[in-house]
C-alpha cells in the first residue's frame, strides 16, 4: 500500500522547502504548480481558453503567458481568479491523478501531492494524510515581503486570496511548524515519516 500525502500550506509558509526535503529522501513529489504551468503552455487546450478569457495582452512576445501580468489581474479580482481556476484546475487534477497512479504502480511506498490550494480546491480526498506547513501570520508576511519584493498591499492581497493558515492547520492530519530553523522542520518531517513507517 502506498501512502499518499497531501502537502499544503500558505504562500511563504515554507511548503516548497518541505517538498524539497521529501525529494531529497527520494520520495516522489507531484507539484501542482509545475503541472499548472505545463497545462497552459501554447498549444494546450487550457492555454487557448485562458487567452480567450483574459485576452492577448497577458501574452509575452513569444506567445507564452506572462505569469506576473496574469497574477496581477487575478490576485486583486476574485471573479477573474475563479474563472482561471475553472479552466486550469480540472486539467491539473487529471495530470496529478495520472502521475500518482503511475508512482503507485511502480511500487513507491509514499507519494506526495504538493497542492497549495488543497483545501480551497476541495482536493483533500486525493490524499490519505494531509500535512500542513505552518507559520504565524507575522512570519508569513515578513517572509513574503523579503522573498518577492512586493508592496505591503500586494503581499496582503496574496495572503488574503488563500484560506488563512490557522484554518488550514485545524483541518490538517499533521503539522510542520516552520517558524524556526530548517533543521527543526526537517526533524519534524523525519519523525512523521517514522510514525507512518515510510523510513526506519
Is the distance from CB of 176 to CB of 18 less than 8 angstroms? yes
Nearest to 155 by CA among 10, 18, 14, 19: 10
Report the alpha-carbon distance of residue 52 to residue 83 in Å, rounded.
11
Distance (Å, rounded) from C-alpha 167 to C-alpha 147? Answer: 24
**Residue 80: per-residue pLDDT:** 92
| 137 labeled binding residue | no
Closest of 144, 146, 128, 126 to residue 136, by C-alpha: 144
Rounded distance between C-alpha atoms, residue 99 and residue 94, angstroms = 9
CB 20 within 8 A of CB 110: no
| 75 pLDDT higher than 90 | no
- The structural domains of the chain, with segments of one domain joined by +, span 3-195
- 91 is an annotated ligand-binding site residue: no
pLDDT at position 147: 83
Q: How confident is the model at residue 93 (pLDDT cuts 50, 70, 90)?
A: very high
Q: Which residues contact 36 (CB under 8 A, 6 or more apart)?
A: 88, 92
Local structure of residue 174 (DSSP, 8 states): E
Range among 68-77, 142-151, 162-171 rated most confident: 162-171
Give the chain's radius of gyration (CA, Å): 17
Residues 6+ apart with CB under 8 A from 103: 2, 28, 30, 111
Question: Quick check: 150 and 70 in contact, CB under 8 A?
Answer: no
Is 13 among the annotated ligand-binding positions?
yes
135-154 pLDDT per residue, tens? 999 999 999 888 878 888 88
Output the nine-digit C-alpha cell for 47: 492555454
Topology, domain 3-195: Rossmann fold (3.40.50)
Q: What is the pLDDT of residues 52-72, one digit of tens each?
A: 999 999 999 999 999 999 988
Contact yes or no for 7/113 (Cβ under 8 A):
yes
Work out the widest C-alpha separation in the chain, in whole angstroms: 53
pLDDT of residue 162: 87
What's the pTM value of the predicted model, to 2 decimals? 0.87
Q: Find out whether 14 is annotated in a ligand binding site.
A: yes
82 is in an annotated binding site: no
CA atoms within 13 A on the CB side of 49: 14
Amino acid at each position: 500500500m502506498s501512502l499518499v500525502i497531501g502537502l499544503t500550506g500558505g504562500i511563504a509558509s515554507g511548503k516548497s522547502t518541505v517538498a524539497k526535503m521529501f525529494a531529497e529522501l527520494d520520495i516522489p513529489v507531484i507539484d501542482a504548480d509545475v503541472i499548472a504551468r505545463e497545462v497552459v503552455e501554447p498549444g494546450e487546450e487550457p492555454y487557448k481558453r485562458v487567452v480567450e478569457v483574459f485576452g492577448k495582452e497577458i501574452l509575452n512576445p513569444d506567445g507564452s503567458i506572462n505569469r506576473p501580468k496574469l497574477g496581477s489581474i487575478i490576485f486583486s479580482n476574485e471573479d477573474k481568479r475563479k474563472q482561471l481556476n475553472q479552466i486550469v484546475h480540472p486539467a491539473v487534477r487529471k495530470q496529478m491523478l495520472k502521475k500518482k497512479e503511475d508512482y503507485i504502480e511502480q511500487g513507491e511506498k509514499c507519494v506526495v501531492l504538493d497542492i497549495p490550494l488543497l483545501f480551497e480546491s476541495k482536493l483533500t480526498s486525493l490524499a490519505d494524510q494531509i500535512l500542513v506547513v505552518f507559520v504565524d501570520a507575522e512570519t508569513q508576511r515578513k517572509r513574503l515581503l523579503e522573498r518577492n519584493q512586493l508592496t505591503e498591499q500586494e503581499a496582503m492581497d496574496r495572503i488574503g486570496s488563500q484560506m488563512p493558515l490557522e484554518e488550514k492547520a485545524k483541518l490538517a492530519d499533521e503539522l510542520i511548524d516552520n517558524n524556526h530553523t530548517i533543521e527543526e522542520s526537517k526533524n519534524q518531517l523525519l519523525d512523521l515519516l517514522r510514525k507512518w513507517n515510510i523510513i526506519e
